[in-house]
Amino acid sequence: MNILEMKKISKAFVGVPVLKEVDLTVRAGEVHALLGENGAGKSTLMNILTGVHTPDSGQVIFDGEDITNCSIAESEKKGIAFVHQELNLFNDLRVYENIFFNKELVTRAGRLRKQEMIHKCNDVFDRLGVSIDPLEMVEHLSASEKQTLEIAKAIFAEAKLLILDEPTTALSNEEIDHLFEIVNKLKAEGTTFIFISHKMPEIFRISDRYTVLRNGEFMETGNIADTTAQKITSVMVGSSFSTAEIYHTRPLGDELMSFKDVSGPGFEDIVLSVRKGEVLGITGLQGSGTSEFLQSVFGELPVFTGEVVIGGKEFRNNSIHHAMKNRIAFLPANRKENSVVPDMSILENMYISEHTLSSDKPIIKQDLELGKYGVQKENLNIKAATPHNLVVSLSGGNQQKVFFARWLNTEAEILLLDNPTQGIDVGAKAEIYKLILKLAEEGKTVVVNSQEIPELQRIADRCAVFYSGRIVKLLSHDEITEHTVMMYATNAVDVEEAKQL
């Protein structure tokens, strides 16, 4: 039985068609993957389903009822819950206040039934197998806890259809496992899912059927079991997709950065030497300290002890500004919380770092910026109608490209990239890898933190594996494999070595 039929949906934004007669059919009780490149129209289609946007034409049938042009509230009432690509929570409210926002339980006299709301939260968290304190402020939660909270909201709404728009981009591999357990649990109870992701392994792990969009058009639908990642990718990107090996060994420069017994919040005794022009991968499980390490180099977190030397001089960092002045760039993880300035245009978002650096030259030369914008747009293949639109009008992956460009505009020599391909589609990922290698060839030094090992295999000269805040192994390019990394990242290597004795 079909729970959802979207028929011939079309939508244009200011005259630019984004969806062209798209069909989407979802069966009750399945996990349906909605796939396509950045800007293909996936989020827009879901926004139409949930009443955020109205379609220009087409029809939406949900659970036997025509819900075309319904409002957000009506779609919620019908049993559709949407966990947006960029989470929608109030950081300065408590967990239970977020869950019951606008649906507060009150007594007849209008007083809040706080204890009851807290109690109900605990019930749902138990059901999901998570331990979150309903009284905690949301700003103190981790990315995965926030994600779980969004799902909890959907459960309170008793959703029949739950849309997860790239739910895993800010999650670690372990957190993804937990999320998938929750999805499977709810699926067993009869919930239907639409799942949007750019990560093929997880699509194949969790989905039953799939639909591919390309450039706002329906391309193909089918059973996941009847296809392969290669086939789906070529439908997504057309014939131009290439998986060719792009890594090649290059002569590296002299030592540019060194760390001697460096400790900070979440990492300890880091000993590391990075050469000019090198691409160094760093990886580890959630909480292994890789992200904190990058944040400390950039001055966002402190360094407690140890010595950092950059370009032959001791580098005592006390602020982000100081790092930037020393030509260090940092693309942080978690786009929504750390990169997006929602009230600014694409152009303003792209230049914000450069403006900070050139604050002694207060005149903004927009024609110069527009020229450079054109180059970056081409370089990174950013899908944007005009640079003067708000950055939030871009699709998620295209926003991420803008934040990449934000740092390419500065003349940084050291690029610290934390999960740089977050939300970027397979084709564009390959482009970004090429760009990183090109930058390295030109003499830039790049440190990439990633949990996607295939990503590190394609670009990293070496890879430092972190376990519990320490570097436990430095792998050469040829040694980087999923198996070897996991052995060290989980500290299983001791056990394995012992077995071989």
Ligand X SMILES: Nc1ncnc2c1ncn2[C@@H]1O[C@H](COP(=O)(O)OP(=O)(O)OP(=O)(O)O)[C@@H](O)[C@H]1O
- Applying CB under 6 A, the residues found at the interface with ligand X are 13, 18, 36, 38-44, 85, 383, 393-398, 425
The binder of 417, among Mg ion, ligand X, none, by C-beta within 5 to 8 A per type, is none
Eight-state DSSP code of residue 461:
S
CB nearer to ligand X: give 410 or 422: 422
Q: Is 90 strand, coil or helix? A: coil
DSSP assignments along 255-299, one per residue = EEEEEEEEEETTEEEEEEEEETT-EEEEEESTTSSHHHHHHHHTT
Quick one: which of 30, 41, 43, 279 contacts Mg ion (CB under 5 A)? 43
Considering the rule CB under 5 A, would residue 396 count as an interface residue with Mg ion? yes
Q: Least CB distance from residue 124 to ligand X, whole Å?
A: 28
- Give the binding range for Mg ion (CB under 5 A) out of 42-50, 299-307, 355-363, 376-384: 42-50
Q: Least CB distance from residue 20 to ligand X, whole Å?
A: 12
CB nearer to ligand X: give 334 or 395: 395
CB nearer to ligand X: give 34 or 297: 34
Q: Least CB distance from residue 166 to ligand X, whole Å?
A: 7
CB nearer to Mg ion: give 290 or 422: 422
The binder of 288, among ligand X, Mg ion, none, by C-beta within 5 to 8 A per type, is none
Cβ-proximal residue to Mg ion, closest one? 43
391-395 contacts, C-beta under 8 A, 24 or more apart: 391/340, 391/341, 391/342, 391/344, 391/345, 391/346, 391/348, 391/349, 392/340, 392/342, 393/13, 394/39, 394/346, 395/38, 395/39, 395/40, 395/43
Measured CA to CA in angstroms, residue 255 lies from 6, 228, 309, 384, 390 at distances of 57, 43, 10, 39, 41
Q: Least CB distance from residue 72 to ligand X, whole Å?
A: 15
The binder of 350, among ligand X, Mg ion, none, by C-beta within 5 to 8 A per type, is none
Give φ, ψ of 59 to 5 degrees.
Answer: -140, 145
The binder of 289, among Mg ion, ligand X, none, by C-beta within 5 to 8 A per type, is none
Q: Is 320 strand, coil or helix? A: helix
CB nearer to Mg ion: give 403 or 488: 403
Contacts of 388 (CB under 8 A, 6+ apart): 345, 346, 347
CB nearer to ligand X: give 216 or 469: 216
CB nearer to ligand X: give 38 or 207: 38
By the 8 A CB rule, do 462 and 474 touch? yes
Q: Least CB distance from residue 115 to ligand X, whole Å?
A: 40
CB nearer to ligand X: give 299 or 397: 397
CB nearer to ligand X: give 8 or 127: 8
Q: Is 147 strand, coil or helix? A: helix
Considering the rule CB under 5 A, would residue 419 count as an interface residue with Mg ion? no
Q: What angle do CA 323, 301, 409 make, to 5 degrees?
A: 35
The binder of 41, among ligand X, Mg ion, none, by C-beta within 5 to 8 A per type, is ligand X
Question: What whole-number distance in Å separates Cα of residue 202 and Cα of residue 176?
Answer: 9
- Residue 141 neighbours by CB distance under 10 Å: 19
Eight-state DSSP code of residue 342:
T
Q: Is 29 strand, coil or helix? A: coil
Radius of gyration over every alpha carbon of the chain, rounded to an integer in angstroms: 24
Site for Mg ion in 423-482 (CB under 5 A): none
Q: Least CB distance from residue 4 to ligand X, whole Å?
A: 17
Considering the rule CB under 5 A, would residue 216 count as an interface residue with Mg ion? no
Question: What is the enclosing helix (H) or strand (E) of 151?
Answer: helix 143-156
The binder of 68, among Mg ion, ligand X, none, by C-beta within 5 to 8 A per type, is none
Considering the rule CB under 5 A, would residue 41 count as an interface residue with Mg ion? no
Q: Least CB distance from residue 19 to Mg ion, whole Å?
A: 13
Q: Least CB distance from residue 297 to Mg ion, whole Å?
A: 31
Helices 366-380 & 396-408, crossing angle to 10 degrees? Answer: 120
Query: Which residues lie near Mg ion (CB under 5 A)?
Result: 43, 85, 395-396
